Amino acid sequence: MKYWLMKSEPDVFSLDQLKKDKTTWWTGVRNYQARNFMMKDMQVGDEVLFYHSNATPPGVAGIARISKVAEPDKEQFDKKSEYFDPKATKEKPIWFCVQVEYVAHFKNYISLPELRDNAKLADMLVLQKGSRLSIQPVEKKHFDILTKLGGA
């Protein structure tokens, strides 16, 4: 069992929306490091901190879970999609996405300033300067602290 943090802009796709939809395919990731985490490391049942980026304030909104392992991201083949990739073919897809299911909202939204204030979380990737990676591994000890703080 692994733990992850996945970023989403709430204006584009929020945890509320995931609650409504129950599950979603995490399409549109166009970064190789993030893709490789989805393709190689994520397993069904892995738990995910759902992080709202570009929010006011940014922070962790709650928990989701991996519900299907990675498959080719269909948007790479769709000329009308903003995620279309002309180099990708059905035989040789470039981009993959996992399916994520809703688990819970935190009772207490954990804002980025609160994360920064907690010394025990200081080495979380998301808190490192210039950390733009949209999918990040999270250590169990950090995940446990977050769920306690959030009151999940």
Minimum separation from the CB atom of position 60 to DNA (A) = 10
φ, ψ at 90 (rounded to 5°): -60, -35
**Which residue type, as a one-letter code, is found at position 42?**
M
Write down the least CB distance from residue 58 to DNA, Å.
4
In the complex with DNA, which residue's Cβ is closer, 120 or 130? 130
Binding site for DNA (CB under 7 A): 7, 9, 30-33, 53-55, 57-58, 112-113, 128-134
Preceding peptide of 93 cis, ω within 30°: no
How big, in percent rounded to 5, are the helix, strand and coil portions of the chain? 30, 30, 40
Beta bridge partners of 71: 97
Q: How far is the CB of 101 from DNA (least distance, A)?
A: 21
Using alpha carbons, select from 56, 123, 67, 16 the residue that is nearest to residue 145: 123
Shortest separation between residue 53's beta carbon and DNA, angstroms: 4
For residues 27 and 99, what is the distance between their CA atoms, to the nearest angstrom?
9
Using CA atoms, how far apart are residues 152 and 150, in angstroms rounded to an integer? 6
